[in-house]
Amino acid sequence: MNDSSTSRLDMLHFARRIAVQQVEQIDRWIAAEERRETGQAREAASRPPDPDWLIEMGLGGRDPVYVHIGGCHMAGKRSRGVDRDQALRAVTEGIDACPHCRPDTELRVLD
């Protein structure tokens, strides 16, 4: 005679409840991740586009030091967006072109 108080069927039902709980937890994680991605996409869509040209200012914030192509990884936090004419004028007036993104080449400025 078997003295076990728990039948094999009861153990299978228990295992199924645990598996269902795990799937429900994964579904909650998926829903949270979808909400996070949706929020990031909405934020990215509402962000203004990067400027095509940047002028990086010096430490004092007054004198420009470099002209960059928009999105240049070397542009510092003291950079501000400018239009093409302002970038062209800055390069022709002697403001250094960034040696990494080479805005003078893009602007077709010859030395």
pTM given for the model: 0.60
Same domain (yes/no): 63, 36: no
With respect to residue 101, please indicate whether it lies within any of the assigned structural domains.
Answer: yes
Q: What count of residues does the chain have? A: 111
With respect to residue 2, please indicate whether it lies within any of the assigned structural domains.
Answer: no
With respect to residue 71, please indicate whether it lies within any of the assigned structural domains.
Answer: yes
With tokens 């501000």, the residue in question is: 80
Same domain (yes/no): 61, 99: yes
**What gap in Å lies between CA 52 and CA 33, rounded to an integer?**
33
The pLDDT profile of the chain, 111 residues, written as one tens digit per residue, is 455 688 999 999 999 999 999 999 999 999 999 999 999 999 989 988 889 999 999 888 789 999 999 989 999 889 999 999 999 999 999 999 999 999 988 888 765
- Beta-carbon-side half-sphere exposure of residue 7 (alpha carbons within 13 Å): 3
Q: What is the pLDDT of residues 25-53, one digit of tens each?
A: 999 999 999 999 999 999 989 988 889 99
With tokens 């004092």, the residue in question is: 60
Q: Are 72 and 101 in contact (CB under 8 A)?
A: yes
Same domain (yes/no): 34, 74: no
